[in-house]
Amino acid sequence: MEQKPKSTKIINQNENQHGATEPALSNSLVPQCLSWICSTLTETRLLCLRTSRLIPFAIRTHFVPSVRKSASALVTSKKVAFTLAEVLITLAIIGVVAAITIPSLVKNYNEKAWSTAQDVFTKRLEVATRQMNTEEKLAGYSNTMDFVNELKKYIKITRVCDNSNITKCFNKEVIWNEGEDPIDMSTIKNAASLGQDDWDTDTVAVQFANGVNAIIAYNPNTTQEPFNNQFAATSASMAILYDVSGNKNPNTNGKDIAHNGNVKQLAGVTGCLLPEEELGFCISQILGPQNGGFGPLTKAECEAQKGDLGISACNYDNDYWAGAVAKCGGTSKMPTMEQLGQLAAYVYNYDGTIGAQQDVYSLTLDTTKAAQFFSASSSSNYFYVWSGQERSSTDAYSRDFYSTDTYWYYNYRGNSNFLAVCLGD
């Protein structure tokens, strides 16, 4: 039987210049290979440009070995990955870069936010005060509290604190100059604390509905121009220091703390709430039910402290007078009945002296001088003040202040409606 020859791939033979034979490429494969070689291999592209006679040489020397090498690499190559050390080093570099850049980004963001908040607040306040000017409500007040009570009708204020309770509406401390000690804001009592020595008005702290806290001193010399829509009403009527970040830090002037041009300085008043030269003694604190100034002592608490406080006998329970004594630091730190007579002469503008046990009628109470007492009192028409003198275990001496009359008397020590007036040095 005749055997069929095995399938044999016939390849044309070509002789090279040395007489050796080498396989010839088919007509269909040559254009494809040529196109790939000329577009991919740099060296071969150059050869293509120079001469076409070198194409077989390029195919033999570049194409075939490259294909074999690539195929081998596909089979034997391993996956490439980062080592743990490389990852840790990368993370460390990222951390260093973040530590350098993030504080700067946060600082820039805060400064932009503070500046924007200040612009918005000053514009709103100016709108409110200009409206007051238009309606002729900007001028004519003798004290800051009356002005603020009118201002509330034009801009939303959520809380008002008199100058004995500044830190209930404002930060406890403010850095006025970088590198200096912070200023105790509880000592910012009047316009002089803000650099306005001639105004003679007290400060009032307020909290606005938009989160801004402020301290205001009213200018009693304010004028108004109701037909002038461009009237600078805010600068004409007040000195204002405000914090656009509320109770948050940094509480620093030039950052979250700003002020209008009427604030010339920030200097605390560490002495007396009322002028000592006119009153004859120094009052350092006025405390009462309205500002949560003090509470009563139990009999046991009074008995434990009475020797140090100068108390002779204790009430059977809820001794508010003893609580006032404890708050002030002893009976010697509270006014005598003679000093309460001097206080009466001051707040009534009385021409003469009022004795320790003297009642006076047909007077006119100066509401400006008495403003801090009304703020601490539970009433807006009268107030009562304890002396440091006790009559018995159940009673202590005091003075009553009404709009037209003042009386001395002794009252039950369990009465919670009396004010504690503490004396300064």
pLDDT, average across residues 51-66: 47
Average pLDDT, the chain: 82
- 280-313 in b/e burial notation, b at 16+ Cβ within 10 A? ebebebbbbbbbebbebbbeeebeebbeebbbee
pLDDT at 48 over 70: no
| Bridge partner residues of 385 (DSSP) | 399, 419
Could you report how far apart the first and last alpha carbons of the chain are, in Å?
A: 140
Note the helical H segments in 135-199: 144-151
What's the confidence (pLDDT) of residue 57? 46
> What are the tokens at 300?
């046991």
pLDDT at 356 over 90: yes
Per-residue DSSP letter, 287: E
Per-residue pLDDT reduced to its tens digit, 142-154:
899 999 999 999 9
pLDDT at 282 over 60: yes
> What are the tokens at 280?
């004859």
pLDDT at 19 over 90: no
Per-residue pLDDT reduced to its tens digit, 69-115:
554 554 455 567 789 888 899 899 998 888 887 887 777 777 888 88
User: Are the C-beta atoms of 397 and 390 separated by less than 8 Å?
Assistant: yes
pLDDT class of 46 with cuts at 50, 70, 90: very low
pTM above 0.75, yes or no: no
Strands 203-208 and 213-218: antiparallel
The SS3 assignment for 147 reads helix
pLDDT at 22 over 60: no
What's the confidence (pLDDT) of residue 381? 87
- Cβ neighbours of residue 424 under 8 Å, at least 6 residues apart? 271, 272, 282, 283, 284
pLDDT at 50 over 60: no
